[in-house]
């Protein structure tokens, strides 16, 4: 339960609100980079043309769908699911009807049967969603993602890395980086890559080598710290405030876990929720 007394929080980071301030915060810059990263992956060998995409937490403004649409990337299928309502003006962007937009609104993924066959999707995205639910629902969501993803498919999940000091008041459960990695692997996901999305220099400066320190100093001569926080973060997900995880179903018995000690006693608590202990399955 977050500070607002919610176990499922529907807060949405809106570009419209950001523009009203005349300032694009690093949170939204990082959002844009996540969407463009997925688009880049879909552009490889033109895989977008045959991709069945599930966007969990698609948002009321449909930002990733809009990016695909504006880049003239028409997938075989796009299904967006969100616990809230999607704005009518966002839907109108796709008014021609030729882009395969499907929506399930006011649908709590993991709690509601979405009536999809197993192994239906090549790509699943879920950006800034897991921190808005309790661990029990998170497990159900990950189980459903595992059911729906094809054996050769990819899943992209981003969420804050909890620092045990504080968390956003609207977040139900921010999670420790190592503990979340262990959660993914316990659910049968292989971790293909992890990228930081934004970070404060004080959290990762001890990881920089001399060359990187000089690069940082030169970049800071031009960029403000708000934008710069997104530039080097991909290199240091373990020191970032937020991370993007690239996952796939584990194939065979040869996968070596990257986070076998994610639930060590000294790492407690694993999340900011009062129910943080529910993160562990076994």
Of 207 and 183, the structure prediction assigns the larger pLDDT to 183
Say if residue 6's pLDDT is above 80.
no
Predicted confidence at residue 74, as pLDDT, reads 95
Coil, strand, or helix at residue 61?
coil
| Distances, alpha carbon 199 to alpha carbons 75, 134, 190, 191, in Å | 32, 25, 24, 21
Other CB atoms within a 10 A radius of the CB of residue 151 amount to 9
Q: Let me know: does 33 contact 27? Beta carbons within 8 Å.
A: no
Mean pLDDT, all residues of the chain: 91
Written as six digits, the tokens of 128 are: 């800034």
Say if residue 218's pLDDT is above 90.
yes
Written as six digits, the tokens of 68 are: 């695909």
**Domains assigned to the chain:** 19-277 (3.40.50.150)
**Among the listed ranges 66-75, 93-102, 178-187, 239-248, which one has the minimum average pLDDT value?**
93-102
Give residue 267's pLDDT band: very low, low, confident or very high (50, 70, 90): confident
Say if residue 51's pLDDT is above 80.
yes
Pairwise CA distance, residues 273 & 131, whole Å:
9
Predicted confidence at residue 45, as pLDDT, reads 82
Written as six digits, the tokens of 198 are: 């934004």
Regarding pTM above 0.85, the answer is: yes
Written as six digits, the tokens of 7 are: 């176990």
Say if residue 19's pLDDT is above 70.
no
Pairwise CA distance, residues 272 & 282, whole Å:
20
Strand pairing report for 77-81 and 149-160: unpaired
Sign of the alpha-carbon dihedral angle for 95, 42, 234, 261 = positive
Written as six digits, the tokens of 79 are: 């299904």
Say if residue 57's pLDDT is above 70.
yes
Predicted confidence at residue 166, as pLDDT, reads 83
Say if residue 20's pLDDT is above 80.
no
Say if residue 12's pLDDT is above 80.
no
Q: Let me know: does 113 contact 137? Beta carbons within 8 Å.
A: no
């Amino acid at each position: 339960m977050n500070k607002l007394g919610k176990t499922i929080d529907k807060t949405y980071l809106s570009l419209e609100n950001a523009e009203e301030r005349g300032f694009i915060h690093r949170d939204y810059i990082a959002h844009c980079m996540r969407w463009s990263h997925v688009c880049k992956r879909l552009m490889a060998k033109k895989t977008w043309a045959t991709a069945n995409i599930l966007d969990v937490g698609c948002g009321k403004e449909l930002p990733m769908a809009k990016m695909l649409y504006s880049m003239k990337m028409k997938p075989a299928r796009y299904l967006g699911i969100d616990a809230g309502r999607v704005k009518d003006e966002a839907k109108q962007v796709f008014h021609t009807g030729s882009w395969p937009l499907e929506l399930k609104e006011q649908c709590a993924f993991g709690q509601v049967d979405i009536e999809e066959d197993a192994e239906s999707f090549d790509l699943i995205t879920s950006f800034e969603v897991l921190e808005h639910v309790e661990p029990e629902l998170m497990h159900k969501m990950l189980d459903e993602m595992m059911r729906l993803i094809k054996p050769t498919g990819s899943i992209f999940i981003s969420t804050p890395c909890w620092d045990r000091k504080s968390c956003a008041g609207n977040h139900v459960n921010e999670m420790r980086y190592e503990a979340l990695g262990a959660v993914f692997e316990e659910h049968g996901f292989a971790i293909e890559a992890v990228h930081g999305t934004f970070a404060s220099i004080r959290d990762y400066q001890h990881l920089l080598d001399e060359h990187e320190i000089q690069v940082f100093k030169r970049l800071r001569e031009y960029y403000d710290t708000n934008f710069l926080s997104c530039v080097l973060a991909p290199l240091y997900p373990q020191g970032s405030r937020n991370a993007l995880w690239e996952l796939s179903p584990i194939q065979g018995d040869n996968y070596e876990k990257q986070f076998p000690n994610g639930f060590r006693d000294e790492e407690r608590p694993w999340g900011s929720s009062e129910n943080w202990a529910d993160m562990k399955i076994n």
